[in-house]
Amino acid sequence: MTAQVYIVDDDPVIRTLVEDYLSASGYDVKAYENGHAFLEAITKEASGESAMVLLDLQMPDMSGIDVLKEIKNNSNCARLPVVMLSANNSTEELTSKADVKADRYLAKPFNPKDILQIVKDYLR
């Protein structure tokens, strides 16, 4: 079974870059432009043991924190590791008041090799 990576980011350049890079590295990648689309899709399918989410913190309509809360409250995907991506270098400061925490934080811009290493770390 191929490891599944979900990308949720409103920036089409980021989505395409990460999707192409991870797909070329052998991962099954599904990309979503907003949290609503991702949550709708994830509730319809069971996420496997070998899956994770790369989630943008700052998106219109539904923030990454709101999406993270929904993920952690949904038995279908509560165990998914979530890596929060943000253009703000103080991501942990922004999320420190949130009642749910991501598994890891990564500031944008990032090197695709860094994303690949993070994915490898979580999906061994």
> Domain holding 89: CATH number?
3.40.50.2300
What pLDDT, on a 0 to 100 scale, did the predictor assign at position 2? 84
Number of independent structural domains in the chain:
1
What pLDDT, on a 0 to 100 scale, did the predictor assign at position 90? 60
The C-alpha atoms of residue 47 and residue 76 are separated, in whole angstroms, by: 7
Distances in Å between the alpha carbon of 44 and those of 22, 71, 92? Answer: 23, 13, 31
pLDDT 10s digits, 77-102: 889 999 999 887 665 555 565 677 89
pLDDT 10s digits, 7-66: 999 999 999 999 999 999 999 999 999 999 999 998 877 666 789 999 999 999 899 999
| Stated pTM of the model | 0.90
Helix axes 35-44, 64-72, angle to 10 degrees: 20
The C-alpha atoms of residue 75 and residue 1 are separated, in whole angstroms, by: 21
- Structural domain for 67, as ranges: 4-122
What pLDDT, on a 0 to 100 scale, did the predictor assign at position 96? 60
Whether the ω angle into residue 12 lies within 30 degrees of 0, i.e. cis, is no
